[in-house]
Amino acid sequence: MSELTLPDRHAHEALRLIGPDPDDWVVSRAGIDHNVVVVGGGQSGTAFAFGLRRAGIGKVSVIDSAAGAPLAGVWTTRARMQRLRTPKTLPGPEAGVPALGFQAWYEARHGEAAYAAFDRIGREEWADYLAWYRQFLGISVRYGTTLTRIEPIGTHFRLHLLVRDGERVEQRVETARKVILANGVAGNGKPNLIAPLTSLPRTHFAHTSDAIDFAALRGRSVAIVGGAASAFDAAATALEAGAADVHLFVRRALLPSLPVTRARAYPGAYDNYPALPDVLRWRQALRFRRAGSTPPADAVSRVTRFPNFHLHLDAAWQGVKVEGARVQAHVNDTTFAFDFVIAGTGYAVDLHARPELADLAAHVRLWRDHYTPAGHEQDDALGAHPYLGAALEYLERTPGAAPFLRNVHVFNPAAFVSRGLPVGDVPSMKRDIPAVIRRISEDLFIEDLDAHEARMSGPVPADFEPSFYADNVYREARAELVDSR
């Protein structure tokens, strides 16, 4: 037994009590390598792997472009917050089994009092928990595997993969019936870059989604553009690494401080949000857009404790250029000079920006194709989000033109307008992972209904023969003999 046996005795017992995983019931098809391919081996991808296994769905493959487990997901790479931004009490990837949740994992190692002492989970502890979850449940992830194209072929897909093994790179093609895009914030788009920044050379500029060498910024002057959490996290990381000074530029006159999504965090709104009329879902998304993405208070205080941190409000960049070794930024009739610039400007949803979606993007129904808001409620960025079905599947822009789209499920933030949450984060797991798995199970069953009807109607061996109860069968003659006595 491993060294985790003692602290994980409750997790072992929980798995024993829910019983063994069901046998794979999906009908095998010639020429099909996988029933489901999950793109992304982070928290969402591993949760899907466990959920599909418990649904009796076999031939599931999880792929991730990261070179290895420590680099999968964001928690040891692009995530730079000290604590998660969600309450610690929210259900995560445990799929309704409390002993597999973060609280049980943490208390088994540190005790109940230690868990009660904090309000939000530390980023590093969360990363450790996810590594344990994957290892404890035996979830296999194929690292170094990048999806480059989803090619529809009749009722399934040819998936074009780039597989890296050290210095060796190999192109492969594998087939799958279903695809789940659990591939993070840029999974249906790209980093959002404001126009002045796009002219900067990469030697002087990075987006928060990039791997940034913060140690190299020691003693340097750094500009951060953006007012959401990722911008503040980058500013704090630079300051903690010894930057000479950090200037953070926000285009709004005040920092966004109204977490409007909390108004619909109660079960009624959370559970039933996908059933809302389009007009209400649009207005809720628009309310969030106009209020702005709120940086947590601790992310703000993390930087304000530094005297060399400077916050610029109502400060949109008008122009930028490189002179000598420094970046010259023109902001509100003032020119500032920096050694390096980091954009914390979020992500844009743009299916055409994803090479793996080249065969799909033109066929996908977007919100702008499906819903026309009133003039004062229009928003091009929201309109670019895919209009998703009940199982977060793509829908056709033109009915009947691309029926294969229903077999691609979008479990990333592009689902925001349709589902009301940044899908892929912890708050989305309880509601949306089961919805996707239920639909996949139903589709795989119905698509092979003839085989399942034959199986359900097939011969079943008897549990016992008539001799098992023959001596106790009531007979009239025997009853008369008893009466005569």
What's the pLDDT at 194? 86
From CA 227, how far away is CA 477, in angstroms rounded? 93
When pLDDT is averaged across residues 228-238 and rounded to a whole number, the result is 97
What's the pLDDT at 481? 52
**Residue 484 — very low, low, confident or very high, per pLDDT cuts 50/70/90?**
low
**Residue 5 — very low, low, confident or very high, per pLDDT cuts 50/70/90?**
low
- CATH architecture classification, 193-256+292-345: 3-Layer(bba) Sandwich (3.50)
Among the ranges given (21-35, 184-198, 441-455), the one the predictor scored with the smallest mean pLDDT: 184-198
The alpha carbon dihedral of 423, 429, 435, 436 has a sign of: positive
What's the pLDDT at 195? 87
From CA 314, how far away is CA 316, in angstroms rounded? 6
List CB contacts of 333: < 8 A, sequence separation 6 or more.
none
Same fold, 9-188+348-449 and 193-256+292-345: yes
**Residue 482 — very low, low, confident or very high, per pLDDT cuts 50/70/90?**
low
Contact between residue 327 and residue 220 where contact means Cβ atoms under 8 Å apart: no
From CA 277, how far away is CA 283, in angstroms rounded? 10
Calculate the average pLDDT of the chain: 94
pLDDT at 454 over 50: yes
Q: Which helix (H) or strand (E) holds 285?
A: helix 278-291
> For residue range 146-205, what is the model confidence (pLDDT) as tens digits?
999 999 999 899 999 999 988 899 999 999 999 999 998 889 999 999 889 999 999 999
pLDDT at 2 over 70: no
Q: Is 54 exposed, middle or buried, given 0-12, 13-18 or 19+ CB atoms closer than 10 A?
A: middle
From CA 229, how far away is CA 226, in angstroms rounded? 9
Contact between residue 433 and residue 52 where contact means Cβ atoms under 8 Å apart: no
The alpha carbon dihedral of 270, 272, 277, 278 has a sign of: positive
Instruction: State CA 403 to chain mean position distance.
Output: 24
Give the CA radius of gyration of the chain.
27
pLDDT at 483 over 80: no
Q: Which helix (H) or strand (E) holds 142?
A: strand 141-143
Show the tokens assigned to 480: 């008369």
Q: Is 304 exposed, middle or buried, given 0-12, 13-18 or 19+ CB atoms closer than 10 A?
A: exposed
Residue 383: Cβ within 10 Å count: 19
What's the pLDDT at 67? 86
The alpha carbon dihedral of 330, 336, 339, 344 has a sign of: negative
Q: What is the 3-state secondary structure (H, E, C) of 253-272?
A: CCCCCCCHHHHHCCHHHHHH
CA distances for 462 relative to 426, 431, 452, 465, 466, angstroms: 47, 41, 21, 7, 10
**Residue 73 — very low, low, confident or very high, per pLDDT cuts 50/70/90?**
confident
Contact between residue 434 and residue 412 where contact means Cβ atoms under 8 Å apart: no
Residue 348: Cβ within 10 Å count: 15
pLDDT at 363 over 90: yes
> For residue range 343-352, what is the model confidence (pLDDT) as tens digits?
999 999 999 9
What's the pLDDT at 1? 40
What's the pLDDT at 3? 46
What's the pLDDT at 71? 81
Among the ranges given (59-73, 101-115, 130-144, 210-224), the one the predictor scored with the smallest mean pLDDT: 59-73
When pLDDT is averaged across residues 90-97 and rounded to a whole number, the result is 96
Contact between residue 48 and residue 180 where contact means Cβ atoms under 8 Å apart: yes
CATH number of 9-188+348-449, picked from 3.40.50.2300, 3.50.50.60, 3.30.390.50, 3.40.50.80: 3.50.50.60
From CA 238, how far away is CA 246, in angstroms rounded? 8
When pLDDT is averaged across residues 303-315 and rounded to a whole number, the result is 98
Show the tokens assigned to 381: 């960025």
Q: Is 207 exposed, middle or buried, given 0-12, 13-18 or 19+ CB atoms closer than 10 A?
A: buried
pLDDT at 429 over 50: yes
Residue 443: Cβ within 10 Å count: 16
What's the pLDDT at 478? 55
Q: How do beta strands 340-343 and 168-181 pair?
A: unpaired
What's the pLDDT at 406? 97
Domain chopping of the chain, boundaries: 9-188+348-449, 193-256+292-345
> For residue range 277-299, what is the model confidence (pLDDT) as tens digits?
999 999 999 999 999 999 999 99
Concatenating the DSSP letter of every residue in 106-154 gives: HHHHH-HHHHHT-SS-BHHHHHHHHHHHHHHTT--EEETEEEEEEEEET
From CA 423, how far away is CA 418, in angstroms rounded? 10
